Every structure is written in structure tokens, then in C-alpha cells.
Amino acid sequence: MTSDLPRTEEEAAAELERLATEIAHHNRLYHADDAPEISDAEFDTLMRRNQAIEAEFPHLVRGDSPSRKVGAAPSGHLAKVAHARQMFSLDNGFSDEDVGEFLRRVRRFLNLSADEPIALTAEPKIDGLSCSLRYERGRLVQALTRGDGQIGEDVTANVRTIRDIPQEIPGAPDIFEVRGEVYMAKSDFTALNARLLAEAEESGKEARQFANPRNAAAGSLRQKDASVTASRPLRFLAWGWGEVASLPGETQSAVIAAIRAMGFPVSDLFVGPVDLDAALAQYKRIEARRADLPFDIDGVVYKIDRLDWQTRLGFVGRAPRWGLAHKFPAERAQTTLNDIEIQVGRTGKLTPVAKLEPVTVGGVVVRNATLHNADEIARLGVRPGDRVVLQRAGDVIPQIVENLTRDEERPAWSFPDHCPRCNSEAVAEEGEVDVRCTGGLICPAQRLERLKHFVSRGALDIEGLGEKTLVELLDLGWITEPADIFRLAPHREELLQREGWQEKSVDALLAAIEAKRAPDAARLLFGLGIRHIGAITARDLLKRYATLAAIRSLAMEIIALRDAMPVAIGESEQKHRARLDKAITEHIGVENVGGAVGQALADFFHEPHNVALWEDLLAEVSPPPFIVETRASEVSGMTLVFTGSLESLSRDEAKSQAESLGARVAGSVSAKTNLVIAGPGAGSKLKKAAELGIRVISEEDWAKIVAEAE
């Protein structure tokens, strides 16, 4: 790491300045925005470079040197509170020698003889969010994030929703702060991302996904609304303490054992007191099990076991002399980029994928890596044939982090402007970096997914027409577009000849299809998978326009409106877009439906193949006019919130009941809420309703209101 240090003071000063800016930038992205651009290993490399230069040129250490700070100042909406005792950050070591040197420093500082045994503790370093939990007279009174070490963010309400954390610790000292890591298990992280994606698809919004479990934990904990935190599967592991009225032990391991006895989870991989060899053996054991652990870790933490020695050792700068984080080597490998392949997703998004010469990174053979988009390819300057550095960080997906042969003279790889699957034009929406195929249902890459969406539960809901069957029917060439589904009956005999089909299953499928000849218009519109038109938007549009014919007319009007509103002389693209957006929104005249929906609708009907598909489909099915019949009742005109588990009906049914009574259903309780219907297990929404003095009724009361309506 000390190689290639700057030779002159000028060079060193310039580089230290650059590093201070760069590290501060990444620190802010990591801590304040939960959106890192670089991996932890890359960040460590920057920090080590900074330290190495500072060690060589100590008189050039800057006032704003990154080595003097921990993390970034807290951000945003959460209250900022000073820690009673600073939250420190550990120095890093990267080899067994670094650990040996750590112990030699301790020995020198304490003036211990060479044969005086030094006991250590060792435990995995969880990649989560450090928190300090303050208990007064045994009751949890405050929870703070680390923040910059001095000042953290108040996340007390959020922490109360984490089941691993006791609300009370009977018999604890009057003041007792437990410190540890709030984290998300890898499996919970994967499930959360899947859920966020499904919810986004349901609502037609862009999915917000987390990059890794650490970001998911941070994003979930640092919520304004604790009920969001409650819905996220956060966990906790204790590793230390802050201010305490008295300590239940004289060694690190004894106090940790006492904290465990109070009911806090402590890592099963915690060992101590142990000697150096046993601590290093524990490091090897943990490293070997790393991939199988339920949570992400980035190293092993050693602490001097004797607390009297810890006190004597004290701190240097931001770090205690009595602790060390032994980091795992970054999981990196070099390989050759053989090709860049374009994959086309369900929404038509073109994603470049690096096809690599197979290489082992962190125990896993990697053949592909995502290149994300055209910007990423430009940033790395990669072309087929380049040597690249691959990294598997906390995230499961391997990434290319460096192009080693960037300087070789070869033309840049250019992003295709046509879909590799259907040859339709591929374009980037205004202000977006993603390139999408415009082929829609004629694109084979999108066709299966589009058809899956068309028959899915939220859309036409055709039972028995799952992915496997769709693939079979697509392969046979019997269906290529939605209307074909309604023309399967003539294939009955042929289908019966096929393996896996019996009279019963074939007839059940055909009956399920026939049952949807008069589908709900909103479900049909949603089923077409037009961008920005989710289930809710489709309903909102049809509540106002009633028929699909009217929706098509609306699209034609928007096309005409667009044509009539060209860019004015001297008008910026942005201004024009805003003006058009406003006009379209006003023209549609539906609450919560904006210009993007209108534009997407217009784009859809602007394509002749979409119009053909639409007409073909409407020749097969005839959705009745969409009428939300409302009946007068005591809740007409009100805004309702359902919470808790409803026992006699589903949420969807409850919502449609409410709408049929002329009421509006909202997702969260606010001052605008008139009535809350609470089932068993209702939590924060119920509490909020009580705070706001909103009337709360039971599911039975609700059933009475529905029954009594005229």
C-alpha cells in the first residue's frame, strides 16, 4: 500500500486534498443517503491511501482529514442527539501480521513483558448500522444511530419495532447503554426487494430497490414513519456498550455475556477470552463460513479482554487502541470480457451483460456480470477483449470495477439503437438512462412476460394459464398476442394429444378463458401493460371515462394536443415538457393521474401495431362499461382506512365495498381520515387514529354499515 507514494510535498498536498473531497463525498453517499457508489473495499482503499500519505507527510495532515472523522454528519428529518459517550470506529488490519503488530503496540503501550498473556475477544463484524440503545431504570428510553460518532439520529420509535431488542431489561443498572448492529438478514433482504418490486409493478411506479442488506437496513431504520420500519425484517446483534452506571463484569467477554443474559442477541461466533492464535483461528473459521452466514460481514473484530487495560489504552483520534477490525480481503479477480450481450426485460429494458471468461471470485465461479446501462459502459470504457477486475461485494451480483486495458486503442463499444430480439427501435425516455424496446407485445422478449401479466391475478385473472402453459402455447405458435388466448378452443383436440393434458384440464382451461369474455374494463386496461398504467391508475381512469372506447378517444385527443403544442421559439426542452405535462394533466382531469400517464397512453395508440392488437382483442372480448355504483350510506364521501387483519373479507373486497358506498380508501391514517376499520393485530395506524381522535370501528360494525346501505 505504501508503494507509489507522492515524491514531493506539492504532489502529496494535492493528493490529500483530492482524497479528502472524494472520501467526504462517498461518506455522505454511504451514511446520509444510503446510496454508495463504490464498494466498502474500494472505500477502504481510499482511506488507506490517505493514511499512508499522511504517515509519510505528517505535517501535511489536513484539518478536514478523513482520518479524523467517523462517517458523515447525520442527514434529514430525524432529530439529532448527542451521544452520552462517543461511538468510536475501529482501526482496520488486513493481514495476520497487522494483527500481530496490533498486539505488539498494546504490549508496548502497557509496558507488558513478552510472556505476559494478552486475552482477546473475537467476533464477526456485521455489515449493518451501528446503534446505541439507552436504558434508564431498565426501560428503553432512547435509540440513536452512530451518525458522526458524536451526534446520532434519534430512531427510538423505529427501534421499538425491532423484536430482537428488549423494551425492558429488569435488574439492569440505572443507566445502561447497549451498542450493537441493526442489520437485515440476506434472505430477508432478497424477499424485501422482491416485495418492493411487486408493489411497484402493482402500482405502476418505478421500483425502489436496495443495493445490499446494509442499505436496506439503513433505509428501513431511518424512516420518518416507524410503521414502515415495523414492516421491515430488522434484527440486532449486541457487541458493546456506551454510558453505564455500573458494569456487570471486569472483562469484555464477561460484560458481553451479561448483555446476552439480559436478553440481547450476541453472535454465536463470538469467542473470548482467547489468545492470539485462537483469535486468528476464529477469523479463519468465520471467513470459511462467510458465504453461508445469514448476514453480510466484512471482517472479524478483536478486542482486548481486560477492561482495566482498555481504560489505560484509551483512544487515539477516532479509534480505540484496544480494538482492531481484521477485514477480509476484497473478493476480486481479473478476467477477460469476452462479449457484451444485450438482454431484454419484461418492460423492454435493454440491459448490457458482460460475458466473462469464467473466473472464481470469493469461492464462486462467475461467468456474467451486469453492466447496468450505457452510462456504466462509458464510465468503465469497456469493449469486448478488455481485461477487467471483477468484484463480489456484499451484494450477490458480481460487478466489474475496473478496466485494465482501457488505454488500448480500440473503438468504443456502442449501445444498440434497436432491440436485438424484435428489431424495433430502442429508445431512452426523456431524462432516463435506460434504453427500452418499443416493440411491446410484438417483441418476443416482452411477449411472454406481457402475456403473463395479461392473465395475472391483478389483470384478467385466467385460472390455469400459468407460465408453463403460456410457454407451451407460445412455442406451438398458437398464441402471440392477448386476443389469441380467446381463440384456443379450435385447438382443443390437438391440445388433448399433448403430454400432460387431459380432457379435464383442457376443458377447465377453456372454460376459465370463456369466463373472461366480458372482463372488467379496468383489469383489461391494466393487463395491456402500458407504461405508467398500474392497477390503480387504470381504475381511476375508468371511473372517469367508463369505457375503453372513451380511453382510446382520450389517447387520440392527447396525441392531437401534443401535435398542437410544439416547442415555442426560445423555449427550453424542459419548459416545453412541463407545459405539455400540465396541459395533458388538465385534459385528463383525474386526480392523481399526471402527464406521464397521458403520454404513455398516447405513445401506445401512436403505434399502429398496438392499435391492431387492441382492435383484435376487443373483437374477442366486450368489457361492460365500468360503473362504480354507489349506494347512499353513512360513510358516503368519507375517507376510510382499513388496518389489521380482516377476517371475513379480503382487503380488495373491503375496498370495493367502500367504493360502492361512495367512500374513498386511503393507505395511511392522516388528519383527512374520517373512519378507521381495525381488525385484530392493528398497530401503528390504530395508535395514530387514537392520537388524532379519529373514530375506530370493528370489522363487524363495518359489515353492519354495508348491510344497512340502500
Active-site amino acid positions: 125
Report the residue number, 515 or 612, with the smaller CB distance to Zn ion.
612
Residue of 48, 4, 54 whose CA lies nearest to 23: 48
Cis-peptide, bond into residue 117, ω within 30° of zero = no
Q: How far is the CB of 473 from Zn ion (least distance, A)?
A: 20
The C-alpha cell that represents 645 in the structure block? 387483519
Q: How far is the CB of 534 from Zn ion (least distance, A)?
A: 22
Decide: 233 and 192 in contact? Cβ < 8 Å. Answer: yes
Report the residue number, 223 or 424, with the smaller CB distance to Zn ion.
424
The C-alpha cell that represents 462 in the structure block? 385466467
Count the Cβ atoms, other than its own, within 10 Å of residue 241: 21
Q: How far is the CB of 377 from Zn ion (least distance, A)?
A: 20
Going by C-beta distance under 8 Å and a sequence separation of 6 or more, which residues neighbour residue 323? 88, 90, 91, 301, 302, 303, 304
Q: What sign has the CA pseudo-torsion 485, 491, 493, 498?
A: negative
Report the residue number, 12 or 528, with the smaller CB distance to Zn ion.
528
Report the residue number, 343 or 660, with the smaller CB distance to Zn ion.
343
Q: How far is the CB of 424 from Zn ion (least distance, A)?
A: 5
Q: How far is the CB of 429 from Zn ion (least distance, A)?
A: 15
Decide: 183 and 295 in contact? Cβ < 8 Å. Answer: yes
Report the residue number, 345 or 458, with the smaller CB distance to Zn ion.
345
Q: Note the residue count of the chain.
A: 710
Q: Report d(CA 574, CA 431) in Å as an integer.
A: 10
Instruction: Encode burial over 258-292: b for 16+ CB neighbours within 10 A, e otherwise.
Output: bbeebebebbeebbbbbebeebbebbeebbeebee
Tell me the H-state helices in 249-290.
252-261, 276-289
Q: Report d(CA 437, CA 99) in Å as an integer.
A: 54
Q: Which residues bind Zn ion (CB under 5 A)?
A: 419, 421-422, 424, 437, 439, 443
Tell me, what amino acid is at 334?
Q
Decide: 108 and 60 in contact? Cβ < 8 Å. Answer: no
Decide: 301 and 283 in contact? Cβ < 8 Å. Answer: no
DSSP tag of 268: T
Secondary structure E strands in 492-650: 639-643
Q: How far is the CB of 428 from Zn ion (least distance, A)?
A: 15
Report the residue number, 320 or 439, with the smaller CB distance to Zn ion.
439
Report the residue number, 421 or 552, with the smaller CB distance to Zn ion.
421
Task: Write the DSSP assignment of 157-186 as a string of letters.
Answer: HHHTT-TTS-SB-TT--SEEEEEEEEEE-H
Q: Report d(CA 196, CA 202) in Å as an integer.
A: 10
Q: How far is the CB of 419 from Zn ion (least distance, A)?
A: 3
Decide: 146 and 87 in contact? Cβ < 8 Å. Answer: yes
Report the residue number, 422 or 542, with the smaller CB distance to Zn ion.
422
The greatest distance separating any two alpha carbons of the chain, rounded to the nearest whole angstrom, comes to 92
Q: Report d(CA 179, CA 104) in Å as an integer.
A: 28
Q: How far is the CB of 528 from Zn ion (least distance, A)?
A: 16
The C-alpha cell that represents 365 in the structure block? 465461479
Q: How many angstroms from the chain centroid is the CA of residue 203? A: 17
Q: How far is the CB of 414 from Zn ion (least distance, A)?
A: 18
Report the residue number, 241 or 454, with the smaller CB distance to Zn ion.
454
